[in-house]
Amino acid sequence: MISFLATFFIKDHNNIEDLEVRNKYGILSGVVGVVLNCILFASKLFAGIISSSISITGDAFNNLSDAASSIVTLIGFKLSGQEADEEHPFGHGRLEYIAGLIVALFIILMGVELMQSSFEKIIHPKETTFSRLIAGILIFSIFIKFIMFQGNLEASKKISSTALRNTAMDSISDVVTTGIVLLSSFISYKTGIILDGYIGVLACVFIIKTGCEAAKNTISPLLGETPSKELVSEIEEFVLGYDGVLGVHDIVIHNYGPGRNFVSLHVEVPGDEDIVTVHDLVDDIENDIRNKYGCMVVIHMDPVVRNDEFSETLKRRIKHVVAELDPNLSFHDFRVIHSKGDRKRVAFDLQVPYKYSLKDEDIRKYLYDHIDGIEPGIQCDITIDKADLG
């Protein structure tokens, strides 16, 4: 539905790489959500009053909270589209995640409040009424919410939006909730058994579960989650495709909101090449990454000394030491630094998985002792890089 409406209300609607177009999708979703949820709230509240059903009335206020959530989504997209400023040099994109988190909290809060009302209805049951009008209102609500679910889910995939995905999940939870309310009302009408409070509790459990999952999906990018392995591999292969690049490591991707990534990485380049030539190469790579992926990027050069017998021999021997510690570990950015006089220093970055069995200081001590054994007196500068080695 959102994508369909976008063809009428969003100019150049297929250009989703454009942040302005992307924000308009979120604003359109918010406006549609406010209008439809207000209509559903009014109709369900009417049904709840004439039926004396706490589950239907609670479902109505659930739609009212959805309208408030849509307003938050609308505001979130509107604010996230603001340009960068002195206080926020990377823009305001993360406001979209905050909007998604607020929507999730709305869902949880409404579930908790309805849970209390449902328990009261269990303790003090009250007979409810049922009619074709009430059934029609609930069926109409299910139909509208299912359309909203499909529309927001499709739009969330199209523009990669957590906020719209949370809105879609809220809509499908409403479909289930209203379906349960409809079924329980019909059963109570036919059998005389008052299920209103019990069904309300069951619906609330589903609502709270949906809210918690939505909050988890939103908090992760706010805290700073690991970028997708596919994106990291793609950038690595892209950089390795340039002549003169010997290796790539330490790729870090910071997310400042959808479509707002900051990338930093290290490239290994020949140490005997002209520094100006290598610098121009790195500049070209930065510009190409910026144009291809639409992100800010900074590249650090790591010169690699080639055809140095001492360096190559020491590297092979240290590789053997690391393998004895753990064959799954690896190192990069290896270099031998010649100080004044005959003093030498070896430096490299060791990749260690998260939650490794050994502490960083224990790893360094092991390597220091064994490297001193194969090359007495050499200084060691070992950087521990935490990485996902899976």
- Considering the domain architecture, whether residues 69 and 22 belong to the same structural domain is answered as yes
Q: What are phi and psi of 358, to 5 degrees?
A: -100, 145
- Tell me if residue 273 falls in helix, strand or coil: coil
Q: Reply yes or no on whether the pLDDT at 366 is more than 70.
A: yes
17-33: per-residue pLDDT in tens? 777 787 788 888 888 88
Average pLDDT over residues 47-68: 80
- Tell me if residue 83 falls in helix, strand or coil: coil
Q: Which of 223, 257, 286 is the last residue of a domain?
A: 223
Write down the pLDDT at residue 280. 93
173-191: per-residue pLDDT in tens? 888 878 888 888 888 888 8
Q: Which of 164-178, 333-347, 369-383 has the lowest mean pLDDT?
A: 333-347
Q: Reply yes or no on whether the pLDDT at 379 is more than 90.
A: no
- Considering the domain architecture, whether residues 86 and 193 belong to the same structural domain is answered as yes
Write down the pLDDT at residue 367. 93
CB atoms within 10 A of CB 264: 14
- Considering the domain architecture, whether residues 290 and 327 belong to the same structural domain is answered as no
- Considering the domain architecture, whether residues 74 and 168 belong to the same structural domain is answered as yes
Supply 286's token pair. 């930065």
Q: Residue 185 sits in a domain of what CATH number?
A: 1.20.1510.10
31-48: per-residue pLDDT in tens? 888 899 899 999 989 988
C-alpha neighbours within 13 Å on the C-beta side of residue 157: 8
Average pLDDT over residues 262-274: 88
Residue 321 — very low, low, confident or very high, per pLDDT cuts 50/70/90? very high
Average pLDDT over residues 81-89: 70
Count of domains in the chain? 3
Write down the pLDDT at residue 207. 76
Please list the residues that pair with 265 across neighbouring strands. Answer: 299
Q: Which of 177, 194, 223 is the last residue of a domain?
A: 223
Supply 321's token pair. 């030491």
What predicted TM-score, i.e. pTM, was given to this entire model?
0.57
Can you give the residue range of the structural domain that contains 240?
Answer: 229-304
Average pLDDT over residues 195-217: 79
The more confidently predicted of residues 128 and 56 is 56
- Considering the domain architecture, whether residues 32 and 135 belong to the same structural domain is answered as yes
Write down the pLDDT at residue 38. 92
- Considering the domain architecture, whether residues 283 and 318 belong to the same structural domain is answered as no
Supply 172's token pair. 């499908």
Supply 211's token pair. 């809210």
Supply 298's token pair. 């900074």
Write down the pLDDT at residue 360. 92
Q: Residue 263 sits in a domain of what CATH number?
A: 3.30.70.1350
- Considering the domain architecture, whether residues 298 and 328 belong to the same structural domain is answered as no
Mean model confidence pLDDT for the chain: 83
Q: In Å, how far are 99, 145, 179 from 203, measured between CA atoms? A: 24, 15, 9
- Considering the domain architecture, whether residues 77 and 207 belong to the same structural domain is answered as yes
235-266: per-residue pLDDT in tens? 989 999 999 898 888 888 887 766 677 899 99
Q: Reply yes or no on whether the pLDDT at 125 is more than 70.
A: yes
Report the run of H or E that residue 336 belongs to, with start and end: strand 330-338
- Considering the domain architecture, whether residues 102 and 192 belong to the same structural domain is answered as yes
- Considering the domain architecture, whether residues 90 and 200 belong to the same structural domain is answered as yes
Q: Reply yes or no on whether the pLDDT at 81 is more than 70.
A: no
**Where are any strands of DSSP class E within 271-329?**
296-304
- Considering the domain architecture, whether residues 119 and 219 belong to the same structural domain is answered as yes
Q: Reply yes or no on whether the pLDDT at 140 is more than 90.
A: yes
CB contact set of 350 (below 8 Å; sequence gap of 6+): 322, 329, 330, 331, 363, 367, 382, 383, 384, 385
Q: Which of 223, 246, 267 is the last residue of a domain?
A: 223
Task: Assess contact for 170 and 145: CB atoms under 8 A.
Answer: no
- Considering the domain architecture, whether residues 371 and 336 belong to the same structural domain is answered as yes
Q: Reply yes or no on whether the pLDDT at 74 is more than 80.
A: no
Write down the pLDDT at residue 163. 74
Dihedral (CA of 238, 243, 249, 254) sign = negative
Q: How far apart are CA 194 and CA 36, in angstroms?
A: 30
Task: Assess contact for 346 and 318: CB atoms under 8 A.
Answer: yes
Q: Tokens 């495709």 belong to which residue?
A: 241
Q: pLDDT exceeding 90 applies to what percent of the chain? A: 20
Question: What angle separates helix 54-80 from helix 95-123, to the nearest 10 degrees?
Answer: 170
Write down the pLDDT at residue 340. 59
Residue 341 — very low, low, confident or very high, per pLDDT cuts 50/70/90? low
